Amino acid sequence: MEIRPKRGAVLITGTSTGIGRAIALHLDRLGFRVFASVRTTQDAESLRAEASGRLTPIQLDVTDQASIAQARDEIGLAVGDAGLVGLVNNAGVAFQSPLEFVPLDKLRWLFEVNFFGPLAVTQVFLPLLRQARGRIVNVSSTATLAVAPFHGPYTASKFSLNGLSHALRLELKPFGIQVSIMICGSIRTPIWDKADGLTAQITQTYPPQAWELYGSAFRKLRDYFARMGRSGIPPEAAAPAVVHALTAKRAKLIYYVGPDAHLYRIAEKLVHGRLRDWVIMRSIGIDE
């Protein structure tokens, strides 16, 4: 593997906790100049306490165009003609719901964060990336390899992000900008608890019919995800893939992070159709 010696400026979204925070601190330790997007002053101070002076927290809401533009002005002023060598679109949210009853406003909000947010950030920061022939890493999920029932809202948003990434890679190739997808498996981050809380909040208003139709299977799915969250690998495991994507002469098109991500990658090629459906349902504990 040939590594570029360059250690320039990188913007990472969603660094308050979990994967984003681990990546930001790791790149900071390697000598990158890190702009770490957070939502609150408290999150910013927490990051500063662990990082060097090279890391700068930036308050950024990926669903707010004005917030993105303000961050671009701040970062553009700081990096000048050097531009950005990397953009890591990591910010994301999740919840589970039977698709028959999911409120469309909640589904649109999820897509605003997981799909339109990365695109909006990429659009605004592409001029800075072009200056440095930088790299883009879009953080996706094994939900796109093994589609689970009731995980449709999150899965659909990540499928959309994958499609966006492939098209973006082809469009930006003439400018020397490489685009990678990082498929993350089970990683111990607060997103599991946050998703469970959002799920409870969103589904509490569902009519009794929803639980008559889906209640038993839905509870098994939530129990399954709770086990996955507890057994996941630490978020620091995602950092090496990002480093490679930002520094290797040829970044991989797709990075798989975690043992289950590699397993799902193999299973996707070997198990198809109804057999795949059966395996997924049995793994969750749902009897068809």
Q: How many CB atoms lie within 10 A of CB 208?
A: 8
- The residue annotated as part of the active site, out of 154, 206, 256, 264, is 154
Kindly indicate the confidence band of residue 288, based on its pLDDT and cuts at 50, 70 and 90.
low
**Over residues 274-283, mean pLDDT:** 90
The more confidently predicted of residues 232 and 148 is: 148
Kindly indicate the confidence band of residue 90, based on its pLDDT and cuts at 50, 70 and 90.
very high
Residue 3, pLDDT score: 41
Calpha distance 238→260 (Å, rounded): 13
Calpha distance 25→137 (Å, rounded): 16
- Is pLDDT of 271 > 90? no
Contact 51, 34 (CB under 8 A): yes
Judge whether 264 counts as a catalytic residue.
no
**Over residues 236-261, mean pLDDT:** 96
Kindly indicate the confidence band of residue 4, based on its pLDDT and cuts at 50, 70 and 90.
very low
**Over residues 199-203, mean pLDDT:** 96
Sorted by sequence, the CB contacts under 8 Å of residue 20 that are 6+ apart come out as 12, 13, 14, 36, 37, 88, 90, 91
- Is pLDDT of 94 > 90? yes
Kindly indicate the confidence band of residue 287, based on its pLDDT and cuts at 50, 70 and 90.
confident
> Domains, the chain, ranges and CATH?
9-284 (3.40.50.720)
How many degrees, rounded to 5, is the angle at CA 118 between CA 60 and CA 153?
110
Q: What percent of the chain has pLDDT over 70?
A: 98
Residue 6, pLDDT score: 55
Residue 230, pLDDT score: 81
* C-alpha closest to that of 222 among 94, 91, 90, 93: 94
- Is pLDDT of 16 > 90? yes
- Is pLDDT of 250 > 50? yes
Residue 236, pLDDT score: 95
Residue type, 174: P
Range in 31-40, 156-165, 265-274 with the lowest mean pLDDT: 265-274
Average pLDDT, the chain: 94
Residue 1, pLDDT score: 38
- Is pLDDT of 192 > 70? yes
Range in 15-19, 92-96, 268-272 with the lowest mean pLDDT: 268-272
**Over residues 234-251, mean pLDDT:** 96
Residue 146, pLDDT score: 92
Read off the pLDDT of residues 251-266 as tens digits, 9 standing for 90 and up.
Answer: 999 999 999 999 989 9
Residue 190, pLDDT score: 86
